[in-house]
Amino acid sequence: MKKLALAASLALAAPAAADPNPADWPAVLAEAKGQTVYWNAWGGSTTTNDFIAWIGSRVAEDYGVTLEHVKLTDTADAVSRVVAEQAAGTDEGGAVDMIWINGANFAAMKDADLLFGPYAAALPNWQFVDTEGKSVEVDFTVPTEGFESPWAMAQVVFIHDSETVPEPPKSAEALKAWIAANPGRFTYPQPPDFLGTTFLKQMLVELVEDPGLLQSPANDSYDEVTAPLWNWLDEVTPALWRSGKAYPQTGPRQLQLINDGEVDLAISFSPGEATAAIANDQLPESARTYVLDGGTIGNASYVAIPYNANAKAGAMVVANFLLSPEAQLRAQTPDILGYGTVLAMDKLDAADRAAFDTLELGIATLSPAELGTALPEPHPSWMTRIQADWAERFGVAK
Amino acid sequence: MPNNTPSKTGWGIVPLVTIALLLGPVTAGMIGTILPAFGGLRPGGGGGFSLQAWREVAATPGLGTSAWLSLKTGLISTFGAIFISLLLVAGWHGTRAFRAVEQALSPLLAVPHVTAALGLAFLMAPSGWLARLGSPWATGWQRPPDLLILQDPGGWSLIAGLIAKETPFLLLMMLAALPQARPAERLQVALAAGYGRVTGWIFAVFPNVYAQLRLPVYAVLAYGISNVDVALVLGPSTPSMLSVQILRWMSDPDLALRAPAAAAALLQLGLVIIGLALWRLAEAACGTIGRRLLWRGIRGANRRDDLARGIGLTLSIAAALAVIGGLVGHLLWSFAGRWRFPDALPESLRLRTWARHGQEIIDVSAGTLALAFAAALIALVLVIGCLEAEHRRGRVMGRGGLLVLYMPLILPQITFLPGLQILLLQTGASMGWLPVLIAHLVFVLPYVFLSLAGPYRAWDARYATLGAALNASPDRVLWQLRLPMLLGSVLTALAVGMAVSVGQFLPTLLASGGRLPTLTTEALAIASGGDRRAIGAWAAALTLAALMPFVIAVLLPRVTYRNRRGVLDG
């Protein structure tokens, strides 16, 4: 009891850590040493979990920062945690130090002033980031303004088993015809799962007359703009896997379904996921990826630091390490993670550039040229309304 | 003996502390749920009474179906579990086959719901193990058929999973209640009157057993209506069970959705109350019908009796096999190389999954077991204190005490835990292991009490008289006679407590803010990714962590008392 009481009084007596100044990097490093960073990141993928564990061992080695991966089933869990802490007046020493985030979650936190920053551009490794060629400063049309730091590029690809489906459908119309010809062999993750919502957005981009409309917030024209999407879904749903009465709850579960032979196609937001899954025996060796003829949506994954984080300096050190050529190279290695780098090759020194150049992309991973230029994400307001409408129209099986 | 009054020795305080520990968090959680449901505790403060939250709940697509599903799965699964365990006990109690099934089922009690559900999912899927074993030679399937078995909108796979998991629990509860019902004598009379074995048992013995079984049955019913962990794995998603919908609102970044979550949590409580009321009506109806049948003289001898016995044995073996088969499936997947449909077995066995997850599993297991041990030990000390206070007062706990004990088991977790989280945050006590420990205690305490109360009360008080005659104080009798003689039961109670703690999902998740990973929370997080190898490894570790304390509880007394066999039987 005495020890407990002592610990409690020490905790109370310790001065509240002043906001670390990102511009004073040596001070950040000094403060970070010995801190424990609770990184709240989706924990459903074995390869991502392994990568985060590796990041943890490296920052412990180099900077004395302990990284704990809080495995989320949904990123919103971490956001709601911060929201609840703010409501309860916990403005310091919060439970969440860093969140793997983007899109609507970021927009919500930024809107509510729940983020620490701006800090991204002050990170020493920011100098390598490809700010011109890649969309790393606009997240789902919302400017990041330095409140989140990118660490991976993602782009929609579709996975198919080249043995059962040698010629996969490469447009929304072709997919509709394929589903009709192969009933029960296609499904998508159930919205509001982000990959399920991504599938709806990808189809919307394909079907809408003027995709440019999706770059501004959804307004009165919403019903008219989205009508082709709902028609498309009405037509394909009866021929979906389980006739649309059940859906896989997450993206990776589709891989299991392909491996089990239940479906033939799956959507993925990581061009390297299929290669990594083949190496892990999670997909057949004949699995391959492809993009649609009209291009596919791409975005960046970021890390953000809540305003009340307990270890802001430690979190910035981790965010900075994530941008290092060493970490980026590992992330892009196909059988480790296979995520696209956010760095600009021409900003790296010769040795690092050579390392990226010689990276074998892997058997099922498309080259940057094959991926093509990623289409921009629609404004988050579209996703919010589409999610709600989907639940109304298809969330209750008929 | 001057020092045997509870007040002087301090024993009287223990029941009060226990009640406070049970009711405190529950009451706090209820307040934290009721206020936001009616416009209180709004983000940003302000606001008065409002029914807005209820309007939002009412506008949710598929809400009526969700509510109906919850009631339906709870009622049918509870009935199914009672039906199977009743037929088994009635038809086979006292036979060798019964002992075999009982021995197979009792360890399954400790298997956490999550692992059982995940195992069943792999067994029952159209591409699951059962289909693989029969394909293609029997079924002709080269590819799995597009059959809606798992997560069906009707909730039947969820019902099957709940039955398989709850049958062992009700069976053991029935067995515990059996001695007081003096089944042998009663059955003798019924058989003499020409009744078949099963029918005679149901008419003559079961009513007495059921009187003691009632609260455990209500706990099973409430769990069936409101559970989250099994529903996440086996339950439907178009729409999902009400409890799952509440969890979704609770974890939405939009804090305004806490209000509908709170309102729906109260609706969930209402469903449990309706379920319990319907159940009580059914109890009364069964009593009436039973008496009518008795008067008509239906005796159910011979063929009908054999049929009932056959059904009872088959279904309980099926329940046991479903859970055991799922566990074997987990273990196999954790070592599997490439394994595609319709292969009955993996192409190869490898250690890669364990090499990859092993270290983390060991770390998390250590934390999980430490937490479980702490919770179970505290609960054990309190329970022994309560029972000893009861003993020294010479008065057995009344109905009110029993209700308090069952309160956390009958009140849906999803109703008061979200409120508890909100209040924990308000007091700034939201982080670390202490709130998790307290939340676990709420659920561990009742089970430890239920496990120990029977043996503790049944201990022959003449030993105490003997001790007192030898001038031993009551404390000395407790420490040197009673507890050593009850070592087996005490350790079993500890093991029960640890297994309960290991299996907790919502209390861990909501009281720790995700900062305290346990095997259960990690297993469910991994499950969302659908990587069967990782799921297999985590589920196997979770099962082991829940079972290990039982193994120790069985072995330790045998080793300690290897020279004193008489103590083991006492």
The candidate with the shortest Cα–Cα distance to B432, out of A27, A11, A41, is A11
Residue B388 CA: distances (Å) to CA of B403, B452, B456: 20, 12, 9
How far is A28 from A31, CA to CA, in rounded Å?
5
CB burial class (10 A; 0-12, 13-18, 19+) of residue B351? exposed
User: Chain A closest CA to B101's CA: distance in Å?
Assistant: 33
Query: Given this model, what pLDDT does residue B428 score?
Result: 60
3-state SS track over B270-322: HHHHHHHHHHHHHHHHHHHHHHHHHHHCCCCCCHHHHHHHHHHHHHHHHHHHH
**Angle at CA A199, nearest 5°, toward A150 and A277?**
70
Q: Please state, for a pLDDT cut of 70, what percent of chain B lies above it.
A: 94
**CB proximity B534 to A under 8 Å:** yes
> Rounded to whole angstroms, how far apart are CA atoms A248 and A246?
7
Distance between CA atoms of B204 and B188, rounded to whole angstroms?
10
What number of C-beta contacts closer than 8 Å exist between A and B? Answer: 171
Measure CB to CB from residue B430 to each of A80, A95, A391 and give the nearest one: A95
* A106, closest residue in chain B (CA to CA): B253
Q: Which DSSP string do the residues of A23-49 spell out, in sequence order?
A: T-HHHHHHHHTT-EEEEEEE---HHHH
Strand-pairing partners, residue A158, are: A267, A290
The pLDDT assigned to B47 comes to: 63
Q: What is the pLDDT of residue A327?
A: 96
Q: Is B61 on the interface with A (CB under 8 A)?
A: yes
Q: How far is CA B372 from CA A144, A264, B314, B537, B544, in A?
A: 43, 44, 35, 20, 13
Whether A248 contacts chain B with CB within 8 A: yes
- Those residues with Cβ within 8 angstroms of residue B534's Cβ, 6 or more apart along the chain or in another chain: A46, B353, B357, B526
The answer to whether the bond into B412 is cis (omega within 30° of 0) is: no
Tell me the residues of chain A between 147 and 186 that have a Cβ less than 8 Å away from chain B.
183-185
What phi and psi values does residue A22 have, to the nearest 5 degrees?
Answer: -60, -30
Side-chain-side CA neighbours of residue A178 (13 Å): 20
Q: Does B515 touch chain A (CB under 8 A)?
A: yes
**From A73, A190, A244, residue closest to B525, measured CB to CB:** A73
At residue A16, the pLDDT reads 37
Q: Along the 570 residues of chain B, how does pLDDT read in single tens digits?
A: 444 444 445 777 888 899 999 999 999 899 988 988 998 776 555 567 888 899 999 999 999 999 999 999 999 999 999 999 999 999 998 889 888 888 887 788 889 999 999 999 999 999 999 999 998 888 888 899 999 999 999 999 999 999 999 998 999 888 888 888 888 888 888 888 888 888 888 888 898 889 888 989 999 999 999 999 999 999 999 999 999 999 888 877 676 788 899 999 999 999 999 999 999 999 999 989 888 888 887 776 667 788 889 999 999 999 999 999 999 999 999 999 999 988 999 999 999 999 989 999 999 999 999 999 999 999 999 999 999 998 888 777 778 888 888 899 999 999 998 888 777 766 665 556 888 999 999 999 999 998 898 889 888 888 888 888 888 888 888 888 889 888 888 999 999 999 999 999 999 988 886 678 899 999 988 887 788 999 999 999 999 999 999 888 888 887 877 777 666 544
Residue whose pair of structure tokens reads 């990959």 in the numeric block: A195
Question: B126 to chain A, minimum CA–CA distance in Å?
Answer: 8
Q: Which of A80, A185, A392 sits opposite B253 (nearest CB)?
A: A80
| Cβ distance of B360 and A241 shorter than 8 Å | no
What is the model's pLDDT at position B372?
97
B126-185 residues touching A, CB cutoff 8 A: 126-127, 142-144, 146, 148, 150-153
B428 in A contact zone (CB under 8 Å): yes
Contact B543, B330 (CB under 8 A): yes
Mark yes or no for CB contact A88/B255 under 8 Å: no
DSSP A247: -
Q: Residues near A155 by Cβ (< 8 Å), separated by ≥ 6?
A: A269, A271, A291, A296, A297, A298, A299, A340, A371, A374
Chain B positions touching A87 (Cβ under 8 A) are 43-44, 255, 425
Query: What is d(CA B332, CA B347) in angstroms, rounded to the nearest whole number?
Result: 11
Tell me if chain B has a CB within 8 Å of the CB of A347.
no
Question: Which residues face A39 on adjacent strands?
Answer: A69, A98
Measure the CA–CA gap between B49 and B47, rounded to whole angstroms. 7
- Cβ–Cβ contact B314 with A under 8 A: no
Contact between chains at A259 and B239 (C-beta distance less than 8 A): no
Whether residues B150 and A246 touch (CB distance < 8 A) is answered with yes
Q: Give me the half-sphere count of Cα atoms (radius 13 Å) on the Cβ side of residue A245.
A: 15
Low-confidence ranges of chain A (pLDDT < 70): 1-18, 398
The angle subtended at Cα B530 by Cα B525 and Cα B534, nearest 5°, is: 70
Tell me whether strands A157-161 and A287-290 are parallel, antiparallel or unpaired. antiparallel
Ordered DSSP codes for B444-513: HHHHHHHHHHHHHHHS-THHHHHHHHTT--HHHIIIIIIHHHTHHHHHHHHHHHHHHHHH--HHHHHHHT
Q: Which residues of B touch A256 (CB under 8 A)?
A: 530-532
User: Model pTM?
Assistant: 0.86
Q: Which of B341, B351, B425 to mutate to test the interface with A (most CBs of A within 10 A)?
A: B425
Contact A73 B528 (CB under 8 A): yes
Chain A: nearest CA to B268, how far in angstroms?
Answer: 19
Q: Are strands A36-42 and A98-101 parallel, antiparallel or unpaired?
A: parallel
Chain A touched by B531 (CB under 8 Å): yes
* List of chain A residues whose C-beta atoms are within 8 Å of the C-beta of residue B152: 245-246
**DSSP-H helix ranges across B112-196:** 113-124, 129-134, 156-177, 183-192
On the CB side of B199, CA atoms within 13 Å amount to 21
Q: Do B526 and A394 touch (CB under 8 A)?
A: no
CB-based contact A141:A384 (threshold 8 Å): no
Q: Extract the tokens encoding B283.
A: 């109890």
CB contact under 8 A, B428 and A397: no
Torsion of CA B198, B200, B204, B209, to 10 degrees: -10
Of chain A residues 34-93, which have a CB less than 8 A from chain B?
38, 40, 43-46, 50, 53, 68, 70-74, 76-81, 83-85, 87-88, 90, 93
Distance from CA of B350 to the nearest CA of A (A): 11
In the prediction, which pLDDT does B499 show? 93
Residue A332 makes CB contacts below 8 A (sequence gap 6+) with A272, A338, A339, A340, A341, A356, A359
| Stretch 255-274 of chain B: residues touching chain A, C-beta under 8 Å | 255
Q: Give the gap in angstroms from C-alpha B22 to the nearest C-alpha of chain A.
A: 22
Distance CA B365, CA B523 (A): 11
Neighbouring residues of A338: CB distance < 8 A, sequence distance ≥ 6: A47, A270, A271, A272, A273, A275, A276, A331, A332, A362, A365
Going by C-alpha positions, the residue among B437, B387, B410 that lies closest to residue B15 is: B387
Q: Which are the contacts of B121, defined by CB distance < 8 A and separation ≥ 6?
A: B128, B150, B157, B233, B234, B326
The answer to whether the beta carbons of residues B405 and B40 sit under 8 Å apart is no
Which H, E and C letters describe B380-397, residue by residue?
HHHHHHHHHHHHHHCCCC
Any B CB within 8 A of A190 CB: yes
Q: What's the CA gap between A114 and A307, in Å, rounded?
A: 5
| CA contacts within 13 A on the Cβ side of A19 | 13
Mutation target vs A (from B135, B238, B339, B538; most A CBs, 10 A cutoff): B238
Determine phi and psi for A268, rounding to 5 degrees: -140, 150
Q: Which residues in A lie closer than 8 A to residue B122 (C-beta atoms)? A: none
For the purposes of burial, counting CB atoms within 10 Å of the CB of A64, is it exposed (0-12), middle (13-18) or buried (19 or more)? middle
Q: Is the dihedral of CA B460, B463, B468, B474 positive or negative?
A: negative
Test mutation, B246, B252, B515, B528, chain A, max A CBs within 10 A: B528
User: How far, in Å, CA of A51 to CA of A55, rounded?
Assistant: 6
Strands A142-143 and A148-155: unpaired
| Closest Cα in chain A, distance from residue B149 (Å) | 9
A113 in contact with B, Cβ within 8 Å:
no
Q: Which of A108, A250, A281 sits opposite B338 (nearest CB)?
A: A281
- Which tokens hold the place of B249? 């609102």
How many angstroms separate the CA of residue B441 from the nearest CA in chain A?
A: 19
Which of A90, A245, A281 lies at the smallest CB-CB distance from B337? A281
Report d(CA A200, CA B262) in Å as an integer. Answer: 30
